Amino acid sequence: MQADTLGGGFAAPAHDAARAFRATMEAMARPGTIHAVTGARPPAPLSAAAGAALLTLCDGDTPLYLAGEADTPETRAWIAFHCGAPLTGPAQCAFAIGPWQALLPLQAYPIGSADYPDRSATLIVECSDLRAEGARLTGPGIREAAFLSLPDVPALQANAARAPLGLDFLLTCGDHLAALPRSTRIGEA
């Protein structure tokens, strides 16, 4: 195995994983807030935040779909070594990662069922920019309103209209992430 495959994981796995998990759960509990996530150094083109999310949320029982430019031999080897997540297509995944356009169409992913809404996918969207401005967010975990730059407001509004079914999203950029659970209502900027 190459050094790039072996490296890039958490330096202090228990401590770093706990911090990344806490930041990710805090982001899910408070949609629209942006959190720093450090400790992972995945191969390009994955961001540090996306790598930390993968190391925290994926394991050998978590089917993962790599979309577009995220699907490289280096990324596959890194995930196999650090997470052991089986790679699959969009219809069978629990998590998917890639840039927005590569993750489309959203209808390709599981959205859960009336009996099991938790059997839906979470998409980790690699963004070129992540700011606390743009679309107006309301709903559970948001006191009055939050604002977040989103890649495609109409598509995300259509997803939210399906709640309690639908997809959840983690938006990553550099060493920062934000979450957009399906229960979040999205207004225009």
- Domain residue ranges of the chain, discontinuous segments joined by +: 3-187
Task: Determine what percent of the chain is predicted with pLDDT higher than 70.
Answer: 95
User: What pLDDT was estimated at residue 175?
Assistant: 96
Instruction: Specify the fold of 3-187.
Output: Rossmann fold (3.40.50)
State mean pLDDT over 102-112.
Answer: 97
pLDDT in tens, 27-54: 999 999 999 998 889 999 999 999 999 9
User: What pLDDT was estimated at residue 1?
Assistant: 43
User: What pLDDT was estimated at residue 12?
Assistant: 72
pLDDT in tens, 48-76: 999 999 999 999 999 999 999 999 999 99
Tokens of 155: 């598509």
Tokens of 147: 């604002």
124: nearest Cα among 12, 36, 24, 32: 24
64: nearest Cα among 18, 103, 107: 103
- Give the burial class of 38: count Cβ atoms within 10 A of its Cβ; 0-12 exposed, 13-18 middle, 19 or more buried: middle
pLDDT over threshold 80, residue 4: no
3-state secondary structure of 82: helix
User: What pLDDT was estimated at residue 6?
Assistant: 61
